[in-house]
Amino acid sequence: MRNKLIYFILLSFAFTSMIQSCQNETTINFKRYYVNGKGIYEKNCQNCHGSDGKGLGTLYPPLTDSTYLKLNRNKLACIIKNGQTGPVKINNISYDGIMPGNETLADIDIAQVIVYITNSFGNQQGFYDSEFAKNDLVKCK
Ligand code: HEC
């Protein structure tokens, strides 16, 4: 009886530490993506969208429209890689500009910058890894 109890306690310890190490790995990955994504953003995006993601007047749209970002989550990789033209409505304001593509960014860079923008500027949309970017990029029109 006593042995069983000890066995049970040990097992639950092993189990909780297993779950914890999984969570830690996701948290570490998230942080790594976020930090690298910030660097990529500063280099490639900040000029237009601003360090606070608020864009510039009616010229460059802000990245603060969580609904737009959520609805277009699986198109973000294509927007970043290939750019975007044509009318868009962001925070209820119409924009019709030209965003240049970033063809030299690798899948992982794109995923990292997506983690950064979708978890900054008031957005809180969680993790997005390079496999997601790879899958989404196959579907670019
Ligand atoms: C030369 C200026 C410029 C740069 C640099 C730029 N963008 Fe844009 N971006 C725009 C414009 C203009 C639009 C709107 C295009 C349209 O009217 O269809 C846009 C649209 C977007 C959108 C969709 C609309 C929105 O506001 O949510 C996202 C997301 C986005 N850009 C992210 C990025 C990211 C990430 C980078 C860097 C990798 C970047 N942009 C670099 C100008 C720029």
In angstroms, what CA-CA distances link 72 with 17, 115, 125? 36, 14, 12
Residue 90 Cβ inside 6 Å of ligand 1? The answer reads yes
pLDDT of residue 1: 67
Percent of the chain with pLDDT over 90: 80
Average pLDDT over residues 24-48: 95
2-24 pLDDT per residue, tens: 788 888 888 888 888 777 777 78
Residue 77 Cβ inside 6 Å of ligand 1? The answer reads no
Q: Nearest residue CA, atom 41 of ligand 1? A: 45
Ligand 1 mutation pick, 38, 41, 45, 64, max ligand atoms within 8 A of CB:
45
- Whether 103 and 80 have beta carbons less than 8 Å apart is answered as no
96-137 pLDDT per residue, tens: 999 999 999 999 999 999 999 999 999 999 999 999 999 999
pLDDT higher than threshold 80 for residue 138:
yes
Residue 133 Cβ inside 6 Å of ligand 1? The answer reads no
Instruction: Quote the CA–CA distance of 130 and 127 in Å, as a whole number.
Output: 10
With the CA atoms of 85, 87, 93 and 99 taken in that order, what torsion angle do they form, in degrees rounded to the nearest 10?
0
